[in-house]
């Protein structure tokens, strides 16, 4: 920012209206969307004033009803000229509005104006009056696009941060739910909110998050991805250490487990921290469906993790190094299918993986109707024509398809991408060094995962380090009545009362005829 | 500063790794392998050489069309043979004219010719257990014909002959005329200081085929699995008969679901058949004054599965008589195996091991002249048999009206 | 990984470390060697060695517990004086180099002989070095966590093997016992003692980093018990399924065992899956051997942190491992005839020596213990 601009912003406001408006116009320059409305409070002999607002950011009805009408329609403005009148008089008597404040620097006035408030300057008053009439158009609450579930709430976060905090607040009516605000971005001045439940979150975590957020010096924050990259523990790791979600129920559940959420204005993706690796494989309807179904789906997803990470490299390994492992009948089938394939297995796998990624990317980037057509054509070409032409073997198509589908099973797309990315080194190592390469890359990957931490929590907990108490919600989802305590991450352990398991109603006591039960 | 260097090393480690990822050591795609399904070992033409015959599968012909159209030959297997001074050399000689690398990882059977087996199996065991490519569950067998003939022969149901012999072994429990011996068991008994090895015998038989529907029955000779060969040390000594083999199977621990065909109790000369369901075999050695004796308890439960005895009216009568007969027959089988072992001095019934387990201290003196001790050993055999179930029928099948011949 | 954060190993991790350290070499190479020396009694020798190893492990815990802030070698420094301390660091260093070599022999012979005969040995050794160095730079805590993964894979491996081979198990093969005589069997158990020397030596080094000294003894006991049981399963199965003679026939007996296993008729030769699990625990063992070597080298030279020593020590250890692995015959002779003479005196001798001396110089220990706790509080 230019120093002279900064100087202007920092300077104190004065009593002269003309000076103030001049300063405002110098700071803001000519912008089509910034509206200046001159007015007279209380008729011809009233107090002159100027109202600034940004067209499109304010709620016009509120502006008209709540500010312009009382100001212009004022009959007697003499109390404003009273010697004893001060800012509080204006706030108390002139402006009847739910949220109003007086500020005394241009910095604050301009910032409020650009955030969607109306700024009123009155002659002979040194303060600017900031009236919150934020509004304008915003997207209504819709079902999240990225995390579809079968059972559970259908609302998702929007781009509007207040809507988002409201969605959380509506779920947790706990007085100790705190939502604190911080502004990040030199130029964008983006609202970033930190939500947590004061008596559940571990002491120190809030401070640590604040510390990391305040460290950020950046001109713009356009999405929570900016924040994620600037505060995460392992910036070089391919694995995400923060969970981004569009689902308010997920965030609420996280807060209740003692996590902390960071909301960023203008994006529906909210960051949850600390995050365990396994959480990327949990979906929120694990908790809403009956626990047996929920546990089963979880197992399926862990299987999908394994398949998507290793299946193609295991295939390479077996077919080009350890053929004795394949049952004879299958070995013959694979060999027969590869009879006319001109490439080595390693090349074949890499080509097919690339083709698959191309199709996936095309499906996302193209407009929806076209995207579907693209993937149908692509899969037909690869699945049928390429095999018939003898360029790829049919088994390979099956392998790629299964591992591709498995990676779509992983509910969190950023985790799904990292897993997909990690299989490339595995494939290359398996194709060149066989079992040794596979083992070594997998081992190094595990060491890397084990060395990660997310805001002080070991990334692979509760498996490694093993936390017996947290096992009820990791591999399986235990029934709600058995999850008596919160995860170890939370400060307070008690979650529910004793004996929450539904009992068969006892007829003796229900009858209560003799009362000797 | 230390930390900078530490992290630096940790970070470049993957790149160091990738440097030696550039070579492909020993990588060979599966379609470039000639997968051996069965191998036969004969004596070569020149003395002191071996002839190795390998049956190699042609994948696209063996499994049918799976991918792009490939020129098929219509013949699922290709048999190649080569000679050499050692088995390894012979196998390498196979590579000389095989367009693909000969690969042994999927080999299912090893056939030794009787000549090789009589000459000594030490080399074969050494080679096949030393090599990492070979499976340890490969079946081993001896043939009186030449091994290459067995390996090259075709069979009925399976496309690949090696596969069909493999299945013969898996279902050998239903005939129980040959002990299933895989390489690992063969090696273990071979290395054992007292016990002697047994190998199943395969042969080629011409199945009877009617003049019509010739191709339905298979025109070519078929591989048959029956009886066994027994060894002393390195060398094969002789063949067992079917009763001897069946008797020996009890000792070798291959409980089976065998059938037993017995005479009808009514002296009509017709046959009934029993199928064994469960059995229990216990042998305990006893040592008294340097004299070894064995007590054998055998219990077998049968089902009556077929009876062609028109004059017997009741299942009870039938089963009672048959139980007796079965007992005698089982006893005869056991004795025939024991007598063979005693006569030849080959402890293929693994009796010495049982003595050693029970009397480890005395064994040290016994082991030096074990064959002689064994030939003098006494056997006390208790056989129990019961026929528990006549399966579905409550009374035996008989004609409703008595036929005229019987009235006469 | 903050600089100032003291490494803390939980007692669960400590248990896992012991299991990982004793298991991998013991099931493979040791069993074959012991069979060749003791015949059918090799499984009994294993039991003897497990008892001895467990005992020395407990002794180590007891000795370290007297001065819980100092490792065994550092206690020797204090009790015996600086120069003898140097000798002890040196002997520990040599010991760990040898242990690394022994584990490297296991690793290479498992993978190379049975799976990848065409890959040159130097690639194996380089691969081991890269992985262990990479892991070591992440610190002891990460290695200890990896040990938990290792225990999981040991369990999987044992279960897989049990499923695949129990049907061929013949109890009578375990008999007769003590054919070679009690004393001889006891003497042969030194071969498996070498495997126990590694966890004992590592315990002596890392025990001060383990949290909650009160739980040390029970976690060591659990580790020794669990390690013993998982190891013992192998000689029992090897004797009962393969027969003792066949076990002795092979360099890597457990691979012969693994490749004979089959589940049904369809899945044979799933030994690759087993070896993948085995490799994880073996790599944990290798990492800790390198850790021990680097730490002793750092102490020998007088460095505060072991990290600068890692790369030079890794190179040295790598060369030693390469030379050991190069020739199968020599490797087996070295393992059977030479290695016990180094491993058992250093691994078992050190805790016994320090224990005895600390009994003699009881007063000084007490003083130090008192001042040590004061220093820690301050």
- Per-residue pLDDT band for A173 (boundaries 50, 70, 90) equals very high
What are the tens digits of pLDDT across the range A502-517?
888 876 555 444 544 4
What are the tens digits of pLDDT across the range B141-153?
899 988 888 888 7
Asked if the structure places residue A72 within a domain, the reply is yes
**Distance, in angstroms, between B1 CA and closest chain A CA?**
20
Q: Which residues does chain C have within 8 Å of residue A327's beta carbon, measured at their own beta carbons?
A: 266-268
What are residue A89's phi and psi, to 5 degrees?
A: -60, -45
Specify whether B184 is located in the same domain as B333. no
Chain C interface mutation, best of A464, A467, A468, highest count of C Cβ atoms under 10 Å: A464
Contact call for C243 and B136, based on CB within 8 A: no
Higher pLDDT, A309 or B19: A309
User: Is a pLDDT exceeding 70 seen at residue B215?
Assistant: no
Q: Which residues does chain B have within 8 Å of residue C3's beta carbon, measured at their own beta carbons?
A: 3
User: Is a pLDDT exceeding 60 seen at residue B22?
Assistant: no
Q: What is the 3-state secondary structure (H, E, C) of chain C?
A: CCCCCCCCECHHHHHHHHHHHHHHHHHHHHHHHHHHHHHHHHHHHHHHHHHHHHHHHHHHHHHHHHCCCCCHHHHHHHHHCHHHHHHHHHHHHHHHHHHHHHHHHHHHHHHHHHCCCCCCHHHHHHHHHHHHHHHHHCCHHHHHHHHHHHHHHHHHHHHHHHHHHHHHCCHHHHCCCCCCCHHHHHHHCHHHHHHHHHHHHHHHHHHHHECCHHHHHHHHHHHHHHHHHHHHHHHHHHHHHHCHHHHHHCCCHHHHHHHHCEECCCEECCHHHHHHHHHHHHHHHHHHHHHHHHHHHHHHHCCCCCHHHHHHHHHHHHHHHHHHHHCHHHHHHHHHHHHHHHHHHHHHHHHHHHHHHHHHCHHHHHHHHHHHHHHHHC
Buried b (16+ CB within 10 A) or exposed e, C92-115: bbebbbbbbbbbbbbbbbbbbebb
What's the CA gap between C25 and C31, in Å, rounded? Answer: 9
Cβ-based neighbour number of residue A321 at 10 Å: 31
Chain C contact partners (≥3 CB pairs within 8 A): A, B
Chain A contact partners (≥3 CB pairs within 8 A): B, C
Specify whether A92 is located in the same domain as A49. yes
Contact call for B192 and C172, based on CB within 8 A: no
What's the CA gap between A494 and A150, in Å, rounded? Answer: 29
pLDDT given for residue B73 in this prediction: 66
* Rounded mean pLDDT, C11-26: 90
Residues in chain B: 408
Asked if the structure places residue A383 within a domain, the reply is yes
* Rounded mean pLDDT, C337-356: 88
- Per-residue pLDDT band for A305 (boundaries 50, 70, 90) equals very high
User: Is a pLDDT exceeding 70 seen at residue B175?
Assistant: no
Asked if the structure places residue A485 within a domain, the reply is no
Check if the beta carbon of residue C148 is closer than 8 Å to that of residue A464.
Answer: yes
* Rounded mean pLDDT, B68-92: 79
Asked if the structure places residue B2 within a domain, the reply is no
CATH of the domain at B281: 3.30.300.210
Specify whether A229 is located in the same domain as A304. no
Element holding A260 (H helix, E strand) = strand A260-264
User: Is a pLDDT exceeding 90 seen at residue B218?
Assistant: no
pLDDT above 70 covers what percent of chain B? Answer: 82
pLDDT given for residue B24 in this prediction: 61
User: Is a pLDDT exceeding 80 seen at residue A2?
Assistant: no
Q: What angle do CA C15, C18, C19 make, to 5 degrees?
A: 90
DSSP state of A141: P
Q: What is the 3-state secondary structure (H, E, C) of B135-186?
A: CCCCEEEEECCCHHHHHHCCCCCCCCHHHHHHHHHHCHHHCCCCCCCEHHHH
pLDDT given for residue A178 in this prediction: 92
Task: Mark which of B197, B224, B239 sits at the end of a domain.
Answer: B239
Q: What is the ipTM of this complex?
A: 0.88
Specify whether B253 is located in the same domain as B402. yes
Number of domains in chain B: 2
* Rounded mean pLDDT, A364-369: 82
DSSP string of A177-210?
EEEEEEEE-TTT-EEEEEEEETTTSPTTHHHHHH
Nearest residue on chain C to B167, judged by CA atoms? C265
Specify whether A305 is located in the same domain as A430. yes
Nearest residue on chain A to C264, judged by CA atoms? A327
What's the CA gap between C294 and C309, in Å, rounded? Answer: 5
User: Which one of C13, C116, C146 has the shortest CB-CB distance to A446?
Assistant: C146
Handedness of CA B242, B243, B245, B249 (dihedral sign): positive
Which of A412, A411, A446 is closest to A426 using CA atoms? A446
pLDDT given for residue B314 in this prediction: 79
Which of A453, A472, A491 is closest to A277 using CA atoms? A453
Q: β-strands B291-307, B378-389: how paired?
A: parallel
pLDDT given for residue C182 in this prediction: 85
pLDDT given for residue C198 in this prediction: 92
Which of C212, C203, C91 is closest to C147 using CA atoms? C203
Asked if the structure places residue B67 within a domain, the reply is no
What are residue B296's phi and psi, to 5 degrees?
A: -115, 125
Sequence-distant (≥ 6) Cβ neighbours of residue A286 within 8 angstroms: A294, A295, A297, A298, A477
What's the CA gap between B175 and A73, in Å, rounded? Answer: 111
Specify whether A449 is located in the same domain as A325. yes
Contact call for C114 and B26, based on CB within 8 A: no
Q: What six digits make up the tokens of B329?
A: 């027959």
Asked if the structure places residue B68 within a domain, the reply is no
DSSP state of B215: G
Q: What six digits make up the tokens of A394?
A: 């049919």
Nearest residue on chain B to C311, judged by CA atoms? B9
**Distance, in angstroms, between C202 CA and closest chain B CA?**
23
What's the CA gap between B255 and B183, in Å, rounded? Answer: 20
Contact call for A393 and B67, based on CB within 8 A: yes
Contact call for A447 and C266, based on CB within 8 A: no
What's the CA gap between C47 and B71, in Å, rounded? Answer: 61
Asked if the structure places residue A33 within a domain, the reply is yes
Asked if the structure places residue B198 within a domain, the reply is yes
Task: Mark which of A275, A308, A329 sits at the end of a domain.
Answer: A275
Range of the domain at A247: 161-275
* Rounded mean pLDDT, C103-108: 91
Element holding A54 (H helix, E strand) = strand A47-54
Numbered residues of chain A with Cβ closer than 8 Å to any chain C Cβ? 318, 321-322, 324-325, 327, 433-440, 442-444, 446-448, 450-451, 458, 460, 463-466
What are the tens digits of pLDDT across the range B94-147?
888 778 888 888 888 899 998 888 888 888 888 888 887 877 778 898 999 888
Specify whether B159 is located in the same domain as B182. yes
pLDDT given for residue B216 in this prediction: 54
DSSP state of B31: G
Chain B contact partners (≥3 CB pairs within 8 A): A, C
Asked if the structure places residue A401 within a domain, the reply is yes
Which of C148, C156, C92, C97 is closest to C314 using CA atoms? C97
User: Which one of B26, B105, B170 has the shortest CB-CB distance to C116?
Assistant: B26
What are residue B132's phi and psi, to 5 degrees?
A: -80, -20
Range of the domain at B261: 241-408
Name the average pLDDT for chain A: 86
User: Is a pLDDT exceeding 60 seen at residue B212?
Assistant: no
What's the CA gap between C206 and C7, in Å, rounded? Answer: 10
What's the CA gap between B26 and B43, in Å, rounded? Answer: 32
Which of A348, A352, A374, A376 is closest to A361 using CA atoms? A374
User: Is a pLDDT exceeding 50 seen at residue C376?
Assistant: no
Q: Which residues does chain B have within 8 Å of residue A334's beta carbon, measured at their own beta carbons?
A: 30-31
pLDDT given for residue B150 in this prediction: 83
Asked if the structure places residue B15 within a domain, the reply is no
pLDDT given for residue A228 in this prediction: 92
Check if the beta carbon of residue C95 is closer than 8 Å to that of residue C72.
Answer: no
- Per-residue pLDDT band for C290 (boundaries 50, 70, 90) equals very high
Q: Which residues does chain A have within 8 Å of residue B67's beta carbon, measured at their own beta carbons?
A: 336-341, 387, 390, 393-394
Contact call for A466 and C148, based on CB within 8 A: yes
User: Which one of C111, C131, C268 has the shortest CB-CB distance to A443?
Assistant: C131
What's the CA gap between A164 and A176, in Å, rounded? Answer: 18
Q: What angle do CA A508, A512, A516 make, to 5 degrees?
A: 75
* Rounded mean pLDDT, B21-42: 79
Specify whether A168 is located in the same domain as A268. yes
User: Is a pLDDT exceeding 90 seen at residue A271?
Assistant: yes
Task: Mark which of B239, B256, B274 sits at the end of a domain.
Answer: B239
Place of tokens 């584990």: C103
Q: What residue spans define the domains of chain C?
A: 13-377
pLDDT given for residue A181 in this prediction: 92
* Rounded mean pLDDT, C141-165: 89
Specify whether A106 is located in the same domain as A166. no
* Rounded mean pLDDT, C194-200: 91
Asked if residue B156 has a cis previous peptide bond (ω within 30° of 0), the answer is no
What are the tens digits of pLDDT across the range A385-425?
888 888 888 888 899 989 999 999 998 888 998 998 999 99
User: Is a pLDDT exceeding 60 seen at residue B219?
Assistant: no
DSSP string of B84-122?
ESSHHHHHHHHHHH-SSEEE-TT--EEEEEHHHHHH-SH
3-state secondary structure at position B253: coil
Q: Which residues does chain C have within 8 Å of residue B127's beta carbon, measured at their own beta carbons?
A: none
So what CATH class is C13-377?
A: mainly alpha
* Rounded mean pLDDT, A129-157: 87
Specify whether B246 is located in the same domain as B163. no
**Is the minimum CB–CB distance between B192 and chain C shorter than 8 Å?**
yes
**Distance, in angstroms, between A410 CA and closest chain C CA?**
23
Contact call for C270 and A325, based on CB within 8 A: yes
Number of domains in chain A: 3
Q: Which of B50-64, B179-193, B198-212, C58-72 has the lowest mean pLDDT?
A: B198-212
Interface of B with C in 349-378 (CB under 8 A): 353-354, 356-357, 360, 363
Nearest residue on chain A to C129, judged by CA atoms? A440
**Is the minimum CB–CB distance between B339 and chain C shorter than 8 Å?**
no
Asked if the structure places residue B7 within a domain, the reply is no
- Per-residue pLDDT band for B21 (boundaries 50, 70, 90) equals low
Distance, first Cα to last Cα, chain A? 79
What are the tens digits of pLDDT across the range C76-94?
777 777 788 888 889 999 9
Place of tokens 């006569």: B343
Specify whether B257 is located in the same domain as B354. yes
- Per-residue pLDDT band for A473 (boundaries 50, 70, 90) equals confident
Higher pLDDT, B25 or A33: A33
3-state secondary structure at position B187: helix
* Rounded mean pLDDT, A105-130: 87
Asked if the structure places residue B49 within a domain, the reply is yes
What's the CA gap between A351 and A345, in Å, rounded? Answer: 10
Q: Which residues does chain C have within 8 Å of residue B192's beta carbon, measured at their own beta carbons?
A: 243, 245
Q: Which residues does chain C have within 8 Å of residue A436's beta carbon, measured at their own beta carbons?
A: 111, 115-116, 119, 123-124, 127
- Per-residue pLDDT band for C375 (boundaries 50, 70, 90) equals very low
Asked if the structure places residue A150 within a domain, the reply is no
Q: Which residues does chain A have within 8 Å of residue B33's beta carbon, measured at their own beta carbons?
A: 323, 335
Contact call for B357 and C133, based on CB within 8 A: no
* Rounded mean pLDDT, C81-108: 89
pLDDT given for residue C40 in this prediction: 81
What are the tens digits of pLDDT across the range B196-207?
888 988 888 776
Specify whether B298 is located in the same domain as B377. yes
Specify whether A391 is located in the same domain as A424. yes
Specify whether A77 is located in the same domain as A113. yes
Check if the beta carbon of residue B234 is closer than 8 Å to that of residue B121.
Answer: yes
- Per-residue pLDDT band for A20 (boundaries 50, 70, 90) equals confident
Chain C interface mutation, best of B2, B3, B6, highest count of C Cβ atoms under 10 Å: B6
């Amino acid at each position: 920012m230019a120093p002279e601009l900064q100087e202007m912003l920092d300077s104190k406001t004065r009593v002269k209206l003309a000076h103030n408006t001049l300063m405002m116009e110098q700071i803001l320059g000519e912008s089509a969307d910034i509206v200046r409305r001159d007015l007279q409070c209380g008729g011809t002999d009233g107090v002159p004033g100027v109202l600034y607002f940004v067209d499109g950011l304010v709620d016009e009805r509120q502006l008209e009803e709540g500010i312009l009408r009382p100001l212009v329609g004022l009959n007697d403005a003499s109390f404003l000229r009273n010697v004893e009148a001060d800012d509080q008089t204006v706030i108390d008597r002139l402006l009847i509005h739910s949220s109003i404040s007086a500020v005394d620097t241009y910095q604050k006035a301009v910032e409020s104006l650009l955030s969607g408030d109306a700024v009123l300057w009155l002659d002979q008053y040194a303060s600017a009056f900031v009236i919150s009439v934020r509004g304008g158009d915003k997207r209504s609450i819709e079902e999240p696009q990225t995390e579809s579930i079968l059972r559970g709430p259908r609302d998702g976060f929007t781009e509007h941060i207040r809507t988002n905090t409201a969605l959380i607040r509506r779920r947790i009516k706990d007085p100790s739910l705190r939502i604190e605000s911080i502004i990040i971005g030199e130029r964008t001045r983006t609202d970033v909110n930190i939500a947590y439940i004061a008596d559940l979150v571990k002491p120190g975590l809030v401070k640590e998050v604040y510390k990391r957020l305040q460290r950020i010096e950046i001109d713009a924050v356009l999405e929570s991805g900016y924040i994620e990259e600037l505060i995460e523990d392992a910036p070089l790791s391919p694995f995400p250490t923060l969970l981004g979600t569009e689902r308010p129920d997920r965030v609420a559940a996280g807060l209740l487990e003692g996590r902390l959420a960071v909301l960023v204005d203008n994006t529906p993706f909210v960051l949850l921290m600390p995050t365990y690796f396994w959480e990327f494989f949990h979906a929120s309807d694990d908790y809403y469906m009956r626990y047996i179904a929920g546990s089963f789906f979880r197992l399926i997803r862990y299987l999908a993790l394994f398949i998507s990470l290793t299946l193609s490299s295991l295939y390479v390994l077996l077919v080009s190094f350890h053929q004795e492992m394949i049952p004879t009948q299958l070995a013959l089938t694979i060999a027969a299918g590869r009879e006319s394939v001109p490439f080595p297995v390693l090349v074949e796998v890499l080509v097919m993986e690339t083709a698959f990624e191309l199709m996936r990317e095309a499906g996302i980037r193209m407009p929806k109707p076209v995207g579907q057509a693209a993937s149908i054509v692509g899969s037909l070409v690869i699945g049928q024509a390429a095999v018939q032409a003898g360029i790829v073997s049919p088994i390979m198509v099956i392998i790629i398809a299964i591992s591709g589908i498995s990676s779509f099973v992983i509910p969190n797309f950023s985790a799904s991408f990292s897993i997909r990315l990690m299989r490339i080194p595995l494939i290359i190592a398996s194709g060149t060094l066989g079992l040794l390469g596979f083992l070594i890359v997998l081992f190094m990957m595990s060491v890397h995962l084990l060395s990660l931490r997310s805001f002080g929590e070991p990334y692979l907990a509760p498996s490694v380090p093993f936390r017996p108490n947290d096992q009820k919600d990791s591999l399986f989802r235990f029934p709600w009545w058995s999850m008596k305590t919160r995860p170890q991450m939370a400060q307070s352990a008690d979650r529910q009362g004793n004996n929450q398991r539904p009992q068969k109603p006892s007829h003796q006591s229900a009858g209560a005829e003799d009362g000797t039960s | 500063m230390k930390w900078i260097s530490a992290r630096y090393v940790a970070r470049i480690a993957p790149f160091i790794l990738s440097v030696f990822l550039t070579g492909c050591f020993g990588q060979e795609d599966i379609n470039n392998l000639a997968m051996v399904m069965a191998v036969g070992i004969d004596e070569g033409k020149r003395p002191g050489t071996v002839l190795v015959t390998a049956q190699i599968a042609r994948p696209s012909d063996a499994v049918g069309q799976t991918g792009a159209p490939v020129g098929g030959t219509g013949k699922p297997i290709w048999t190649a043979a080569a000679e050499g001074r050692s088995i390894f050399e012979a196998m390498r000689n196979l590579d000389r004219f095989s367009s693909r690398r000969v690969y042994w990882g999927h080999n299912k059977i090893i056939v030794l010719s009787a000549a090789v087996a009589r000459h000594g199996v030490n080399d074969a065991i050494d080679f096949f257990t030393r090599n990492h490519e070979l499976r340890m569950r490969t079946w081993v067998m001896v043939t009186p014909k030449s091994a290459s003939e067995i390996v090259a022969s075709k069979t009925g149901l399976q496309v690949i002959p090696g596969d069909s012999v493999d299945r013969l072994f898996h279902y050998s429990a239903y005939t129980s005329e040959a002990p299933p011996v895989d390489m690992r068991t063969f090696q273990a008994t071979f290395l054992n200081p007292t016990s002697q090895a047994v190998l199943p015998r395969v042969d080629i038989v011409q199945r009877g085929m009617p003049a019509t529907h010739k191709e339905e029955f298979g025109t070519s000779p078929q591989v048959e699995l029956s009886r066994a060969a027994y060894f002393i040390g390195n060398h094969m000594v002789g063949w067992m008969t079917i009763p001897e083999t069946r008797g020996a199977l009890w000792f070798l621990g291959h409980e089976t679901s065998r059938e037993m065909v017995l005479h009808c109790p009514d002296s009509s000369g017709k046959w009934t058949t029993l199928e064994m369901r469960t059995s229990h075999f216990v042998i305990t050695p006893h040592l008294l004054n340097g004299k070894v004796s064995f007590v054998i308890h055998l219990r077998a439960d049968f089902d009556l599965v077929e009876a062609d005895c028109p004059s017997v009216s009741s299942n009870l009568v039938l089963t009672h008589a048959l139980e007796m007969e079965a007992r005698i027959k089982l006893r005869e089988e056991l004795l025939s195996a024991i007598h063979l072992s005693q006569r030849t001095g080959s402890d293929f019934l693994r009796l010495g091991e049982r003595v050693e387990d029970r009397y480890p201290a005395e064994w040290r003196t016994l082991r030096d002249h074990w064959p002689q001790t064994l030939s003098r050993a006494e056997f006390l055999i208790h056989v129990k048999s019961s026929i528990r179930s006549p399966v579905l029928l409550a009374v035996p099948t008989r004609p409703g009206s008595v036929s005229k011949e019987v009235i006469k | 990984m903050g600089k100032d954060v003291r490494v803390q190993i939980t007692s669960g991790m400590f248990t896992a470390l012991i299991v990982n350290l004793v298991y991998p070499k013991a099931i493979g190479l040791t069993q074959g060697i012991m069979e060749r020396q003791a015949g059918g009694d090799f499984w009994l020798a294993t039991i003897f060695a497990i008892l001895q190893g467990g005992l020395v492990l407990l002794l180590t815990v007891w000795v370290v517990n007297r001065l819980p802030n100092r490792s065994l070698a550092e206690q020797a420094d204090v009790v015996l004086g600086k120069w003898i301390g140097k000798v002890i660091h040196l002997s520990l260093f040599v010991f760990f180099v040898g242990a690394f070599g022994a584990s490297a022999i296991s690793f290479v012979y498992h993978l190379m002989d049975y799976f990848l005969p065409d890959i040159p040995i130097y690639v194996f050794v380089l691969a081991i070095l890269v992985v262990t160095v990479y892991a070591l730079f992440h610190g002891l805590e990460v290695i200890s966590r990896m040990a938990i993964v290792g225990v999981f894979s040991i369990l999987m491996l044992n279960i897989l093997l049990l499923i695949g081979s129990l049907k061929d198990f013949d109890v009578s093969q375990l008999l007769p016992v003590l054919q070679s005589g009690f004393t001889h069997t006891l003497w042969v158990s030194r071969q498996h003692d070498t495997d126990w020397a590694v966890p004992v030596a590592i315990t002596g080094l890392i025990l001060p980093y383990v949290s909650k000294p009160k739980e040390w003894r029970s976690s060591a006991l659990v580790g020794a018990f669990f390690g013993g049981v998982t190891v013992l399963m192998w000689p029992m199965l090897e004797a009962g399924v393969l027969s003792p003679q066949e076990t002795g026939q092979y360099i890597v007996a457990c691979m012969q065992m693994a490749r004979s296993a089959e589940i049904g008729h369809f899945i044979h030769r799933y030994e690759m899956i087993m070896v993948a699990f085995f490799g994880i625990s073996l790599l944990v063992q290798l990492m800790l051997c390198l850790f021990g070597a680097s730490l002793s080298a750092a102490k020998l030279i007088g460095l505060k942190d072991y990290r600068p020593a890692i790369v030079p020590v890794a190179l040295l250890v790598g060369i030693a491992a390469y030379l050991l692995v190069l020739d199968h015959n020599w490797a087996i002779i070295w393992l059977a005839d030479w290695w016990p003479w180094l491993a058992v005196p250093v691994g078992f001798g050190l805790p016994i020596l320090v224990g005895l001396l600390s009994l003699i110089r009881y007063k000084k220990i007490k003083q130090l213990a008192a001042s040590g706790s004061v220093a820690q509080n301050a």
